[in-house]
Amino acid sequence: MKVGVIISSGDPEVLYNGIRFANFCLEQDDEVTLFLNAKAVEYYKYDSPQYKLEDLVKTFVLFPVSFTF
């Protein structure tokens, strides 16, 4: 399945859950596009011990992908 996740909020909880959902979809072998808009682009400013956003983004970006042509 193809999934698009658009996040435009600067709320750490919204960012955390949106990125976590994108990672979950990748684990289910879905094709995922994550689009950060407006305040969400600066997700790193909202990183905290409770919401480890940088770790989640690294997981999303570094997720092993197998390409089929």
* Percentage of the residues of the chain whose pLDDT score is greater than 70: 93
Judged against a pLDDT cut of 80, whether residue 65 lies above it is answered with: no
Judged against a pLDDT cut of 70, whether residue 3 lies above it is answered with: yes
Q: Which two tokens stand for residue 32?
A: 């995922």
> What average pLDDT does this structure show over 38-52?
89
What is the pLDDT, as a whole number, of residue 69?
A: 58
CB 65 within 8 A of CB 35: no
Listed residue (22, 17, 26, 24) closest to 52, CA to CA: 17
Q: Full-prediction pTM beyond 0.85?
A: no
